Every structure is written in structure tokens, then in C-alpha cells.
Structure 1
Amino acid sequence: MISMLVVFALLAAFMTYVPLANGSFSGGGGALPDTMVQLFGKILCFALLAVAMDLVWGFCGILSLGHGAFFALGGYAIGMNLIYATADDKLAQITDAVARDEAVKQSIFSVVGQGEGPWPWFWLLADQFWFQALMVLLVPGALAFAFGWLAFRSRVTGVYLSIITQALTLVLGYLFIMNEFGLRGNNGLSGLQNVLGASMTEPSTKAWLFIASGLALMVGYALTLFLTQSKFGNIIRGIRDDEDRVRFLGYQVEGYKVFAFVVSAMMAGVAGALFAPQAGIINPDSFGPLKSIEIAVWVALGGRGMIYGAIVGAVTANLLRSALTGGWINTIGFGAVSIDVSGVPWPEFWPIVLGLLFVLVTLFLPRGIMGLWHDIVGLVWQRLFKARLVEGVTPPHDPDDEAKIRVAGTSLSKPSDRPRSNRDVVASA
């Protein structure tokens, strides 16, 4: 197992290197372009989203295909404040408070022909950053609680639960596109250029958002690790492996699943809130079914049930996507054979690449990249220290290999506490 300190050290080093390489706090112009700072910041947000997904799928066995909705809701919640602040900053020359407020409303809603009339009730505190930051947690959390309570009490599980979560995402997406919530419909909230009075055109602002994304990932990692290594973690692992058995022991399974689902949704909301200002826009596309499926692929790619595996999967997939769609890769070579791929429309082909990636991982890396890494390290250790093993010195073992779920003094012996492989998940679905 990789120590949390190792993960934090790598993140801290990365968070230090990027602003220094960009010269973010000295006006920019460094070796690393501003666009890369924003790209890395968004990837850290995706990594936090993957960690949130791993909590419910890797440890609790809930394959949610609705986490894109929680991510989008967090982005919309903070985006309301950012678009208000951006419009208010542009209209600073209007000194009359009432006239300025009306002008801000016109600036925000005239794009969808809704500039007339009073503010929608849920926009009344959009100018208060603290309130919208609170909504980043409360809105996804409340939706997850309501949905989870109804679904889990009805004992909906497996592929049926996945379909329902996907349906939830689709319904919310259509409602936002139809502008049922007064959030500018298909246009979304764009032009998010003002963050707490700081302009997103400044390299220092981009760097601070990048650092904030890294810190949020650290907090999310630590929280997930704390939960999964506690008694709560043992119980949700038991739910993942044999829900009926845990229920037979007297535990309220639904309560544990709802709690994990709510915490995961809140983490996804935070990821969306940090992503929106770095992308400069949040729109109903974030509710798309592909986004939620993509999150599951990230976790499967890195290795589900290993928190750092979710991070590795998200980083790997999004770097590959940026490399292909951004023109970083023009040729693909295999020995003496070189193929020109500069003319391939990668943005349109990316869903195909993503699906192929998932199939290959399921067939050849059932435990993901980090599962393969564990196997390689274990093999190398065994060969290097084989002589010492004979003398009675045992190598460090993965605690997942001989885990036991202890519930109310009853020990449920498990041959392995490691989550099922991606191949098993596909087969059971």
C-alpha cells in the first residue's frame, strides 16, 4: 500500500513546481504556459471527482452513473456567484445601487431573453460568496440524501441502481437545458472571470486556483482514507461483498450507504466548484451521460478500491485526452512503422478511445494500473529477498490480502478484502 504521506509529498511537490515553472507570482511568462496551469488545475479537480466515485464504487459497491450531476451542481452553485461578480465588476461605473442591480440582472439574463421581471428567488443571495460556497456542499448533498434514501430503502442494487442514477443525471440535464431553473438554459454560466475580486486573466489567480484544487484533493483523499480505514470502512466493505450478511448481523445497511453516497456527492460538488472558474464556464453538458461513465472508467483504469488508484486513473485518462485532442501527438510509431494521426478528429473519436480503453483494462488489467504496479513490486520484492524469506524474514504484506471485517465482536473472515476486479464487475452486470 502506498502511504498517504507519499501521496501528499508528490502532490505538494507538483503544487510547488507548477507555479514556479510558470512564474505565476512574478507576472507569468515562465517555461510552463498559463494554459498548462489551468489544465493541471482541472485535472486535479477530476482526480478529486474520481476519489469521490471510488468511495461509493470501490468501497461500498455502488456503481453510480450520476456523479456528473453532483459535479455540475457544485459548478453551478459557485458559478452563480462568479457570473454575478463578473457582471457587477463590468458595471462598476453605475453608482446607484438599484440601477446597478437591475443592470447586473439584465447582463446575466438578457442572453436568454429573461432580463425583465424580478430576480429568481434562488438568485437573491448569489452575490454572497459564503452562501454559494455553502450551496456547493448542501445542494449535491441534499439531492444525494433524498435519492439515496428512496433508492436504498427500496433495496435497488446492481445494474438497476446504475440505470436509475443515470436517469437522474439525464433528467437534471434536460431541466437545465430547458431553463426550468432560470440558469440561462443551454448557454450555461459563461464568462466566469472574477473570483473573489481577482481576475482569471492574472497568472497568480490561476495559480491559486490550481493550489486550491490540489489542497481539496488532499482533504478529499484524507477524508476517504479516514472513513475507509475506520469501523465504518469495514462495514461498507462488508456491504460491498455481502450486503444481506451485514443486514443479518443487525446493521442498518441503508444508513451506511446513504452516508457514503452523501459524502461522495459533496466531494463531487467541491470538484465542480473548483473546476468552473478554471474552465470559465459551466453548462448542461456537464450533466451528459458520457461524463458520468467517464468517471467510472477513470476509477477502473487506476484501480478501484485503492484511493490513489482513482487519482492515477483520472490523471492518466485526462492527460491522454489532452494529448490527443490538443495535437500533442502527431505520429504513432511501432518500431520502423510510423502512422500520421495529425488529421484525426480526436474530439469526435474520444468516446471510442475511452470505450476501447475500458475494454482493454477490463480484459488485461482487471485490477487497474495500480493493481499491476502492486503485482510487479511484490514479484520484484520476492525475487530480490528470496534468500531472506527462507531465513524467516517476511516482506511487508498488503493488509487487504488478509483482512477481516469485525462487526459487533463477530469476525467475518474474508479470503481477501480487496475489491472485485473490473472484469468481475462487468460479468456481474
Structure 2
Amino acid sequence: MISALSNNKIKIALSLILLLILLLAPTLLSEFRLSLLGKFLAYAVLAMGLDLIWGYTGILSLGHGVYFGLGAYCMAMHLKLAASGSQLPDFMSWSGVEQLPAFWLPFHSAGFTLLLALLVPMLVAFALGYLTFRNRIRGSFFSILSQALVIITVTLFVGQQGYTGGTNGLTNFDTFLGWKLGEASTKLTFYYITVAVVAIALVLCLWLASSRLGKILVAIRDAENRVRFIGFDPVAYKVFIYCVSAGLAGVAGVLFVLQEGIISPAQMGIVPSIEMVLWVALGGRATVVGAIIGAVLTNAAKTTFSEAYPEWWPILMGAMFIVVTLFLPRGIVGTLKDRLEHWTRRSEVQAAAALKTAVSPPLGFTDLELEKPQ
């Protein structure tokens, strides 16, 4: 009970400190650095969803780049139509497409675009999750299947040059809901919107993790067969949380496109999908807050190393992951929680020992001797 209360206090404290830092960041960073931080926070939304399925449920997905890319492409299609006006998007004209494809038409609406950016990743996740979890495919086999989904999706998007922009993807956007995307005020607005979405996603994930659902997810992670034997259906819970995770990845894709101004198949490939798992591992599995910290720190380190050491940065990144794995196997936040719990238990033991000493009778006297009449 005390440990659970301590964990909740740690999560709340870290969350408040983190949000305060993010709100003050515009006063401390340049416009370029603030734009980078906004992009990293978009990644953090995805990382929190990934932590729900990997850290709490034990589902290792190596294909979350697909869900991120689907959400990003939905928003990019709307932005491209807005930039093209009444004409066909430029890449379609170059590819010989003479008429706007029917599946592009709904993306004229910004509201419908946001809805699709959430629903399309969730529907794909539902199809994959239901078919695999129902057949009790899990562990490394599910991870391999998720990577196969990445290969299929990337190949499809690259091959359909006239409909998706091919290898180059979608870019050259101008406005969103009347806001000029290149203006500093618009970038600042999108940054605060991203912080707000991070806060909402954080509250949602913490609530799910601490609820009865979260306890069942942890039970599925630790002993799925036992959960099934006591009357719960692990398939339903796993499919549900997998869809929630995919939806958060889609939202992250929307935020990414609004701030970065481009999306291509390369950003939803195997390597980015594996990096997403590393964000959660670095921050700490089953911590939620750690997913945010891991996503921001990993990408900040990647940017810093690539700027300072353009030839050596992949080696430095690999060394960083090795060091974290060896010395912080529970991640940054996980290790911090373990240390604080250890110190709390030790202080409680010391306090109990001191109290016992204070109320104990003097050495050499027993209770019976103290009660003898004089």
C-alpha cells in the first residue's frame, strides 16, 4: 500500500515538473530549438501509447511506425489539398494522374481529417491485433508480424507514386485552418497545442494504468494463461489497448506533420519503428512519464550528436543505449523509482526500530518484574 502511494506521488511529481518545464520552454529556447522540441513531444505521445502495450501488457510492437505514418499521411493529404486549391496536387500531375482519386475527397474537411487520423490507425491495429491475438500469437512472433506490416505498408506507399507521392512523400504545405504554417506565431501555437495533447495523453495513460484495466493488463503480461483460467478474455483486453496505442500514434503523426511540414515512407519504416521502442526502454517501461522523457532525451541526443559529430553520431547513440542497458536496465524513471522506494523502505525500518527502542523497558527488566508489588 505504501509502495503504491509512493509510486503515485513520484508519477505526479515528475508529471508536474515536466509540464512546468515544457510550458517555460518557449522563453528559454530559440525558434528552431522550440520547433525541434515540439517534434520530440509529438514522438512522446506515440511513446506513451507504446508503453501501454509493451511496458504494461508485454506486447512488443516493432511496427508502430505504420500507425504514426497513417495519421501523418491523413493530415498531410488535407494540407496538400489546401495548398493546391482547385488544382490537382503537383505530384499527381507529374505522375500522369488526371483526376483527384475518390479516397482523397474526404480530406478536404479538416474535422473529418482529424477523425480519420485517429480511426484509420485504430482500424488497422484492430485487424492485425484481433487476427493475431485470437490465434494466440505473441512474443517474438507478433514482433515479426508487426515488422512485416511495416514492410508491406512502406512498399505500398512507395509504389503508388501518383497517389501517395512515392519516396518523396508529401510536403510543400501552406496553411491549416487559415494559419500560415511558416510564421513564428503559428509554430508557437502548434507547440502549445502539442503540450496540451501530451498532457491529455499523459492523464489518459496514467488513468488506464492505475485502473482495474491496468491491473488486468499487468496480469496478462506476467501470466496470460492464469488470467484466461480465472475467467477473463485476454484477447479483448489486448486488442483494446493495442487500438488505443495505435490511435495515440496516429495523433502523434498529425502533430508531427503540422510542425515538421513533411511525411515520407522513410519515416514509417523498420528503423524508426525500432527507435520508438528504444525511447520507451531508455525512459523506463511501465512508467508512462518515462516514455515522455525517453522520447525527448533520445531525439535530443540524436540531434546534438549529429550536429557536433556528423561522422560519429551513430556510434555515440549506440554507446548511449549500451550504457543505459547495462547500468539502468529499468530505464531512467524506473531506476529512480527503485531508488526512492529503497530509501523509503530503509527510512521506515529505521523509524520502526527507533520507536521500538524508545518504548522498550530498560535492559534486564521483564514485564513481570515491572508488575511486581513493592
Partner of 1:371: 334
Partner of 2:322: 359
- When normalised by structure 1's length, the TM-score is 0.77
Q: Percent identity?
A: 38
RMSD (Å), alpha carbons: 2.1
1:247 aligns with 2:231: no
Larger displacement relative to structure 2 (196-205 or 6-15): 6-15
1:49 aligns with 2:55: no
Task: State how far apart, in whole Å, the 1-side matches of 2:165 and 2:79 are.
Answer: 14
C-alpha offsets along residues 91-113 of structure 1, whole Å, 9 cap, x if unaligned?
Answer: xxxxxxxxxx2x2x1535234x2
CA shift for structure 1 position 319: 1.1
> 1:69 and 1:309, CA in 2 relative to 1: closer, same or farther beyond 3 A?
same
> 1:166 and 1:355, CA in 2 relative to 1: closer, same or farther beyond 3 A?
farther
Task: State how far apart, in whole Å, the 1-side matches of 2:344 and 2:107 are.
Answer: 56
Structure having greater relative contact order (Cα 8 Å, sep ≥ 6): 2
Task: State how far apart, in whole Å, the 1-side matches of 2:31 and 2:126 are.
Answer: 39
CA shift for structure 1 position 9: 2.6
Partner of 1:109: 92
Partner of 1:6: 13
1:156 aligns with 2:137: yes
Aligned residue among 268, 282, 287 for 1:301: 282
Partner of 1:286: 267
Partner of 2:365: none
- The answer on whether the counterparts of 2:52 and 2:241 sit within 8 Å (CA) in structure 1 is yes
Compare the two structures and name the one with the higher helix fraction: 2
Task: State how far apart, in whole Å, the 2-side matches of 1:314 and 1:106 are.
Answer: 33
- The answer on whether the counterparts of 1:303 and 1:309 sit within 8 Å (CA) in structure 2 is yes
- The answer on whether the counterparts of 1:68 and 1:288 sit within 8 Å (CA) in structure 2 is yes
Partner of 1:124: 105
User: How does 1:4-43 map onto structure 2 within 5 Å?
Assistant: 5-21=12-28, 32-43=29-40
Partner of 2:245: 264
> 1:199 and 1:389, CA in 2 relative to 1: closer, same or farther beyond 3 A?
farther
Matched residue SS, 1:182:
helix
CA shift for structure 1 position 369: 1.2
> 1:7 and 1:192, CA in 2 relative to 1: closer, same or farther beyond 3 A?
farther
- The answer on whether the counterparts of 1:70 and 1:140 sit within 8 Å (CA) in structure 2 is yes
Task: State how far apart, in whole Å, the 1-side matches of 2:244 and 2:270 are.
Answer: 21
- The answer on whether the counterparts of 1:193 and 1:277 sit within 8 Å (CA) in structure 2 is no
> 1:296 and 1:224, CA in 2 relative to 1: closer, same or farther beyond 3 A?
same
> 1:258 and 1:391, CA in 2 relative to 1: closer, same or farther beyond 3 A?
same
Matched residue SS, 2:182:
coil
- The answer on whether the counterparts of 2:62 and 2:144 sit within 8 Å (CA) in structure 1 is yes
- The answer on whether the counterparts of 1:87 and 1:108 sit within 8 Å (CA) in structure 2 is no
Larger displacement relative to structure 2 (364-373 or 162-171): 364-373
Partner of 1:72: 69
> 1:106 and 1:220, CA in 2 relative to 1: closer, same or farther beyond 3 A?
closer
Task: State how far apart, in whole Å, the 1-side matches of 2:53 and 2:347 are.
Answer: 37
CA shift for structure 1 position 362: 2.7
- The answer on whether the counterparts of 2:62 and 2:147 sit within 8 Å (CA) in structure 1 is yes
Consecutive unaligned residues of structure 1, counting only runs of 5 or more, are: 22-31, 89-100, 328-341, 394-429
> 1:219 and 1:106, CA in 2 relative to 1: closer, same or farther beyond 3 A?
closer
User: How does 1:201-280 map onto structure 2 within 5 Å?
Assistant: 201-280=182-261
> 1:174 and 1:40, CA in 2 relative to 1: closer, same or farther beyond 3 A?
same
Task: State how far apart, in whole Å, the 2-side matches of 1:244 and 1:50 are.
Answer: 27
Aligned residue among 59, 64, 85 for 1:62: 59
Aligned residue among 307, 316, 325 for 1:326: 307
> 1:137 and 1:181, CA in 2 relative to 1: closer, same or farther beyond 3 A?
farther
> 1:389 and 1:312, CA in 2 relative to 1: closer, same or farther beyond 3 A?
farther
CA shift for structure 1 position 358: 3.3
Give the number of equivalent residue pairs. Answer: 349
Matched residue SS, 2:57:
coil
Partner of 2:4: none
Task: State how far apart, in whole Å, the 1-side matches of 2:306 and 2:236 are.
Answer: 43
User: How does 1:379-418 map onto structure 2 within 5 Å?
Assistant: 379-381=342-344, 387-391=350-354
CA shift for structure 1 position 308: 1.0
Amino acid at match of 2:129: G
C-alpha offsets along residues 286-309 of structure 1, whole Å, 9 cap, x if unaligned?
Answer: 121111111111111111011111
Task: State how far apart, in whole Å, the 1-side matches of 2:333 and 2:78 are.
Answer: 39
Matched residue SS, 1:126:
helix
CA shift for structure 1 position 192: 2.6
> 1:203 and 1:298, CA in 2 relative to 1: closer, same or farther beyond 3 A?
same
Amino acid at match of 1:345: E
Amino acid at match of 2:32: T
Task: State how far apart, in whole Å, the 2-side matches of 1:308 and 1:387 are.
Answer: 31
- The answer on whether the counterparts of 1:141 and 1:265 sit within 8 Å (CA) in structure 2 is yes
Task: State how far apart, in whole Å, the 1-side matches of 2:183 and 2:68 are.
Answer: 26
Task: State how far apart, in whole Å, the 2-side matches of 1:148 and 1:353 are.
Answer: 36
Higher Cα Rg: structure 1 or 2? 2
CA shift for structure 1 position 193: 3.3
Partner of 1:85: 82
User: How does 1:191-210 map onto structure 2 within 5 Å?
Assistant: 191-210=172-191
Amino acid at match of 2:54: W
Consecutive unaligned residues of structure 2, counting only runs of 5 or more, are: 1-6, 357-374
> 1:268 and 1:390, CA in 2 relative to 1: closer, same or farther beyond 3 A?
same
Task: State how far apart, in whole Å, the 2-side matches of 1:85 and 1:368 are.
Answer: 43
